[in-house]
């Protein structure tokens, strides 16, 4: 099987990327990544899996750095553009990075870390100016990438994947979703997260397809690119679909028609990284004509489950195992095995050992199988509540609450209680001009939920705390209920 770089040679003159720094062919990406790799080697023959933490905006600069690290024999550690200095420093320190690399306009953000830790800071323009050197031969078993978990339940951990893992992750999705060199996709997702790095960018480049990278998500800008860009694929998180739907509804009728028509020209639209509310799926289907394909995955495994490309997509469910993946339920918890599964948590052998059972990765996500399709109940640690002797799913309660005419968004958590074990608590974002009391919410909910599933506490908030991928950070929600007077 050819490597990612060997495949790129087959697509040499095809367009690969566009972004704020221009448009580039596969040949130009290969040439720039080769020069970057030569610069990173700095006279060495092989980086030998040394970690290179890098900060670059979306575009050729990012892709050339990522590929350059790999082609030099290093392990790439992409840093988040949105992170403040302490979080960048944590990733640099935890990964044991020996080299920092940055686009010139971002160098000042890594300078203090490099100085404090005595690390080399390489700028992309200097790397490109270095003389070309022979590049090492890469075994597929080498460590290639360290992505940090979102830290929604604990301190972020570095998830190590090999070249073989990355290839398996890309091949699985390319097969299931029928990627081809004729595909075009728009990427505005963060490039320190598996959704953007693997599902979009790597799958596109593996297939010889074209990827347009935007600096960040902006609903009006994304809609305009969708209208103009002749894209065939679209991948986003539920929060993005929500904001796009809101922008669509604010548009005049003739623009709505044009935007809906542009969606209709695409062959596939995918949602992931957080649970997709059924109400949002139906809203998006009405405006776009697409039933969003929902899938399930995580940093440690890539993607494991997916609704079908062809065939019925079941609302509220994430489908069946993707090619090459084995999935099972053990005591209600999803366990996964296959070539996609990560190698280790960097520097955390005990956490790595605890994450596996007889070769199966324990995801920590609870689910049920209904009609051959998996339905996610939530994280065992934060989304499965134990109240009054019952186990209930926070996601199930949230799905019901979103049907309330006054509720825009919601998050349900369990708060310790001496009588009930945990109390069901709901943090709500109300629609503009609406109000709601706990008593009226419970009265409304009795027609839809069992009594023990009804919230016994409620907070109305201007917004829910979210991470970079739009996923609600449940521990932060729980803290709000523990504050005095809440």
Residue by residue, DSSP assigns 339-373 as: TTS--EETT-HHHHHHTEETTEEEEEEEEEEETTE
Q: CATH 3.40.50.980 residue ranges in the chain?
A: 4-138
The class that CATH gives domain 384-482 is alpha beta
The reported pLDDT for the residue numbered 49 is 98
Q: Are 88 and 121 in contact (CB under 8 A)?
A: no
**Where in the chain is CATH 3.30.300.30?**
384-482
Q: Closest Cα partner for 287 from 260, 265, 267, 313?
A: 260
Taking the domain 184-379, which CATH number applies? 3.40.50.12780
CA 316 remoteness from chain centre: 19
Residues with Cβ within 8 Å of residue 265, at least 6 apart in sequence = 230, 232
Compute the Cα dihedral for 295, 194, 336, 310 and give only its sign.
positive
The whole-angstrom separation of Cα 73 and Cα 82 is 27
Give the distance, in angstroms, between the CA of residue 187 and the centroid of all CA atoms in the same chain: 12
Provide the pLDDT for residue 353. Answer: 97
Residues present in the chain in total: 486
Q: Per-residue confidence of the chain (486 residues) as pLDDT tens digits?
A: 789 999 999 999 999 999 988 999 999 999 999 999 999 999 999 999 999 999 999 998 999 999 999 999 999 999 999 888 988 999 999 999 999 999 999 999 999 999 999 999 999 999 999 889 999 999 999 999 999 986 555 578 999 999 999 999 999 999 999 999 999 999 999 999 999 999 999 999 999 999 999 999 999 999 999 999 899 999 999 989 999 999 999 999 999 999 999 999 999 999 998 889 899 999 999 999 999 999 999 999 999 999 999 999 999 999 999 999 999 999 999 999 999 999 999 999 999 999 999 999 999 999 999 999 999 998 887 888 888 878 788 998 999 999 999 999 999 999 998 878 889 999 999 999 999 999 999 999 998 888 889 999 999 999 999 987 788 999 999 999 998 877
Q: How far apart are CA 449 and CA 350, in angstroms?
A: 40
Angle among Cα 284, 294, 255 to the nearest 5 degrees reads: 20
CATH number assigned to the domain covering 4-138: 3.40.50.980
Structure tokens at 402: 């979103």
The pLDDT score that the predictor gives to residue 311 is 94
Q: What is the pLDDT of residue 154?
A: 57
194-211 core/surface letters (b: 16 or more CB in 10 A; e: else): bbbbbbbbbbbbbbbbbb
| Contact by Cβ (8 Å): 98, 88 | no
- Predicted local confidence at residue 151, as pLDDT: 57
Q: What is the Cα–Cα distance from 301 to 169, expressed in whole angstroms?
A: 8
Cα–Cα distance measured from residue 259 to residue 143, given in angstroms and rounded to the nearest whole number: 42
User: Partners of 428 in the beta sheet?
Assistant: 410, 460
Joined tokens for residue 336: 């996964």
Look at residue 224 in the predicted model and tell me its pLDDT.
Answer: 97
Residue 38, judged by CB atoms within 10 A of its CB (0-12, 13-18, 19+), counts as: buried
pTM of the model: 0.88
The H or E element containing residue 479 is helix 474-482
Residues 6 or more apart whose Cβ sits within 8 Å of residue 260 = 248, 287, 288, 289
Count of CB atoms situated within 10 Å of the CB of 457 = 15
């Amino acid at each position: 099987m050819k490597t990612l770089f060997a495949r790129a040679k087959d697509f040499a003159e095809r367009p690969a990327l566009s972004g704020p720094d221009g448009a580039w062919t596969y040949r130009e990406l290969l040439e720039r990544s080769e020069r970057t790799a030569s610069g990173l080697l700095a006279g060495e023959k092989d980086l030998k899996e040394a970690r290179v933490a890098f900060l670059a905006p979306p575009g050729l600069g990012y892709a050339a750095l990522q590929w350059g690290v790999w082609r030099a024999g290093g392990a790439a550690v992409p840093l988040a553009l949105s992170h403040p200095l302490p979080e960048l420093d944590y990733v640099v320190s935890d990964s044991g990075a020996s080299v920092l690399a940055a686009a010139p306009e971002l160098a000042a953000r890594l300078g203090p870390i490099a100085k404090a830790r005595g690390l080399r800071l390489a700028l992309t323009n200097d790397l490109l100016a270095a003389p070309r050197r022979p590049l090492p031969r890469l075994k597929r078993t080498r460590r290639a990438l360290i992505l940090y978990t979102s830290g929604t339940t604990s301190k972020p951990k570095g998830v190590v994947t090999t070249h073989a893992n990355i290839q398996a992750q890309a091949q699985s999705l390319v097969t299931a979703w029928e990627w081809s060199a004729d595909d075009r996709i728009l990427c505005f997702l963060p490039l320190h997260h598996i959704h953007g790095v693997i599902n979009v960018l790597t799958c596109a480049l593996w297939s010889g397809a074209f990827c347009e990278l935007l600096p960040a998500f902006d609903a009006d800008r994304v809609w305009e690119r969708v209208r103009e860009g002749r894209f065939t694929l679209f991948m986003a998180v539920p929060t993005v679909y929500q904001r796009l739907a809101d922008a669509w509804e604010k548009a005049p009728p003739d623009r709505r028609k044009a935007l809906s028509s542009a969606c209709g020209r695409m062959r596939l639209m995918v949602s992931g990284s957080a649970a997709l509310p059924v109400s949002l799926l139906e809203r998006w289907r009405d405006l776009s004509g697409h039933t969003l394909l929902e899938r399930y995955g995580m940093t440690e495994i890539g993607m494991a489950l997916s609704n079908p490309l062809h065939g019925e997509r079941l609302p509220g469910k994430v489908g069946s195992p993707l090619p090459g993946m084995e999935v099972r339920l053990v005591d209600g918890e999803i366990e996964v095995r296959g070539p996609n599964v990560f190698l280790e948590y960097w520097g955390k052998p005990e956490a790595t050992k605890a994450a596996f059972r007889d070769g199966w990765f324990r995801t920590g996500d609870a689910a049920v199988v209904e009609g051959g399709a998996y339905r996610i109940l939530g994280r065992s640690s934060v989304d499965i509540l134990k109240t009054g002797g019952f186990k209930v799913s926070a996601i199930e309660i949230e799905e019901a609450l979103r049907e309330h005419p006054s509720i825009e968004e919601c998050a349900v958590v369990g708060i310790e209680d001496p009588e009930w074990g945990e109390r069901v608590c709901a943090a709500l974002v109300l629609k503009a001009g609406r109000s709601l009391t706990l008593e009226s919410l419970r009265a409304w909910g009795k027609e839809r939920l069992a009594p023990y599933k009804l919230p016994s506490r409620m907070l109305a908030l201007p917004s829910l705390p979210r991470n970079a991928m739009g996923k609600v950070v449940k521990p932060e929600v729980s803290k709000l209920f523990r504050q005095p007077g809440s």
